[in-house]
Amino acid sequence: MSHALKQVAVQLPPGEEQNDWVAVHVVDFFNRINLIYGTISDYCTEQSCPVMSGGPRYEYRWQDEHKYRKPTALSAPQYMNLLMDWIEVQINNEDIFPTNVGTPFPRNFLPVVKKILSRLFRVFVHVYIHHFDRITQMGSEAHVNTCYKHFYYFVKEFNLIDTKELEPLKEMTAQMCH
């Protein structure tokens, strides 16, 4: 898919409400990225991935409103499980992701979405840096790359992830998306 085509694919269609468009994509990305992680999860263990990281320069710590009030170092599988559960709670919360037509989105909708997407990006970082050999062995490379490109163009189009968060995959993204 060409660069121009991809950009059109993520643009807000005429007459569509931006928050609706973003909400649908967030749920879709969550489902797709969760599946991608699921394909390599047997290889992402406490032993192979004792730290949730994206190479030696990036370590991700978990923090939430409940058990982990301070950023806490966890193994990648622990981090992933907490992340997927946390996102599921957010997207199933009618106060954040209203499903009834005409119910307004809350004021904190975009901040929550940005947090979800920047954390989902970390899944790509971990998978690409630590498990890409597995993705290639399974012949899923094209699928994962397509999903990543769609995700990347979407977050750029609506400015949903800070550029510094995107740093770990900068070189790969430059080759793949420009």
Residue 49 assigned as binding residue: yes
CB within 8 Å of 84: residues ≥ 6 apart: 30, 34, 37
Q: Does residue 6 register a pLDDT over 70?
A: no
Residue-wise pLDDT for 96-117, tens only, equals: 999 887 889 999 999 999 999 9
Q: Does residue 137 register a pLDDT over 60?
A: yes
Residue-wise pLDDT for 55-94, tens only, equals: 889 999 999 988 999 999 999 999 999 999 999 999 999 9
Residue 44 assigned as binding residue: yes
Would you state the pLDDT for residue 177?
Answer: 87
Residue 147 assigned as binding residue: no
Would you state the pLDDT for residue 144?
Answer: 96
> Is residue 127 within a helix (H) or strand (E), and if so which, with residue range?
helix 109-130
Q: Which residues partner with 62 through β-bridges? A: 72
Looking at the domain 17-177, which fold is it? Butyryl-CoA Dehydrogenase, subunit A; domain 3 (1.20.140)
Instruction: Show me where the domains of the chain are located.
Output: 17-177
Residue 130 assigned as binding residue: no
Of the chain, the percentage scoring pLDDT greater than 70 comes to: 96
Decide: helix, strand or coil at residue 59.
strand
